[in-house]
Structure 1
């Protein structure tokens, strides 16, 4: 199954260094039957965009957790959303949301198809959004607007073989 895994640049570094990484709690997003049913229209490409958007929002939550820990690696890396695209075995989790799936185990580099990563121009919006993402989840309209601004930034696509070069250029 094609899955969209929320990640951070630190997780991307681990993928490149170790040839695998562990999605947090095995959480990923995909075009599930439940997601298809929840949309009256939309082809697989449009539904994949929905799943990617959900993964990008989850990536923002990961960034919020990283910055809260204030570890040395999180201070050195830019604040950019990352979504890793992989082909992996996954089980649907409709109890969580329409697009949520659980990946069992580590994802190996040979399963990774590509990654989406924010460009540098998204960093200020992402920084502002990670500060209020919890409030947005609780329904604060101002916070939702700030998170929406970050989500409006398009993610750049990188082929698997480009990831080491992307990380070197940060």
Structure 2
């Protein structure tokens, strides 16, 4: 099963050193039955894009929680994991959210998706606007949504070391 794991560049660097993303449990996003039912008109590719987008939103929250530690670039790791290690969220509002019972070995990573450097200023603005957006400020929500205007760049697993200096 393809799972999209929200991440940051420092967490990805630590995973490379450890040889796995962890510790478990991990939160990810995937094409779940609830997501498929909700987005009934979408094909598999569209549903995977929705899951990737949800993971990118979660990555933005990780960046906000991390403070100045992480470079302001959203990171999503796409991995193939056994279905038995994935449990879908019971919350209907989190249709694509899943929990992984085990760490994810780097050998199971299919690709990494990262913001281009051109997105940094918009990601910084979105991070700063998150608290106000969560409190219902429409202007702040617009700023946070602006981060999604940037498509994440696709990187093959052998390109992961090129993502940081």
TM-score by length of 1: 0.89
Query: Does the CA contact (< 8 Å) of 1:28 and 1:55 recur in 2?
Result: yes
Paired residue for 1:78? 71
Query: Does the CA contact (< 8 Å) of 1:2 and 1:30 recur in 2?
Result: yes
Q: Distance in 2 between matches of 1:25 and 1:98?
A: 18
Structure 1 residue 133: Cα displacement: 1.6
Give every structure 1 segment of 4 or more consecutive aligned residues whose post-TM-superposition deviation is greater than 4 Å: none
Matches within 5 A, 1:52-91: 52-67=52-67, 70=68, 74=69, 77-88=70-81, 89-91=85-87
Paired residue for 1:19? 19
Q: Provide the alpha-carbon RMSD of the alignment.
A: 1.6
Gaps of 5+ in 2: none
Paired residue for 1:32? 32
Query: Does the CA contact (< 8 Å) of 1:23 and 1:103 recur in 2?
Result: no
Paired residue for 1:143? 140
Gaps of 5+ in 1: none
Q: 2:101 aligns with which of 101, 104, 115?
A: 104
Structure 1 residue 25: Cα displacement: 5.1
SS in 2 for 1:165: helix
Query: Does the CA contact (< 8 Å) of 1:34 and 1:94 recur in 2?
Result: no
Aligned length: 161
